[in-house]
């Protein structure tokens, strides 16, 4: 049975929603896409400047999974400061999304993006990465802790 579906999210654009109850530790799906370098992914994204989504997922080996090229529904996971899922990277560099708590049927799935940016984190940068989760634990940004 299919576990998730993509549809409009009240948080931002599209989101991923549970079609059935999911359990803590349950592996939901793999984050798929073209594995490439950050440099090449950045060049490709610059050519698609009009799009508001990048779908880039950094790996520990310094490369990136570009979910916008050959990706699956995992690319539509939205950010939440109180995420109900987490990304697990296996030794081969594959990234899987797993539930961190019970998730009810119809509930949106979230990960904490914990994004990193180089340089100064000024007000303009914070505004660019503003969080929209609206949760009680919201830290106001999709950036990770300093």
What digits encode the pLDDT tens for the residues 93-122? Answer: 999 999 999 999 999 999 998 887 776 777
Give 12's pLDDT tier (boundaries 50, 70, 90).
confident
The Cα 21–Cα 142 span in angstroms is 26
Kindly report the average pLDDT of the chain as a whole number.
88
Under a CB-based contact definition with an 8 Å cutoff, are residues 55 and 68 in contact?
Answer: yes
On the question of pLDDT at 49 being above 60, the answer is no
- Look at residue 142 in the predicted model and tell me its pLDDT: 87
Tokens coding 139? 């830290």
Of 5-9, 31-35, 102-106, 115-119, minimum mean pLDDT range: 115-119
Residue 44 pLDDT > 90: no
Give just the sign of the alpha carbon dihedral 10, 6, 54, 37.
positive
What's the whole-model pTM score? 0.86
């Amino acid at each position: 049975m299919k576990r998730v579906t993509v549809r409009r999210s009240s948080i931002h654009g599209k989101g991923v929603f549970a079609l059935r109850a999911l359990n803590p530790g349950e592996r939901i799906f793999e984050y798929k896409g073209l594995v490439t370098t950050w440099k090449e992914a950045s060049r490709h994204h610059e050519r698609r400047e009009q799009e508001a989504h990048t779908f880039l997922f950094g790996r520990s080996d310094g490369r990136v999974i570009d979910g916008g090229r050959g990706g699956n529904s995992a690319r539509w996971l939205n950010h939440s400061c109180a995420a109900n899922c987490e990304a697990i990277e296996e030794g081969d560099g594959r990234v899987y999304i797993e539930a961190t708590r019970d998730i009810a049927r119809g509930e949106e799935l979230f990960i904490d993006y914990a994004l990193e940016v180089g340089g100064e984190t000024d007000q303009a940068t914070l505004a660019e990465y503003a969080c929209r989760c609206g949760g009680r634990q919201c830290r106001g940004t999709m950036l990770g802790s300093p």
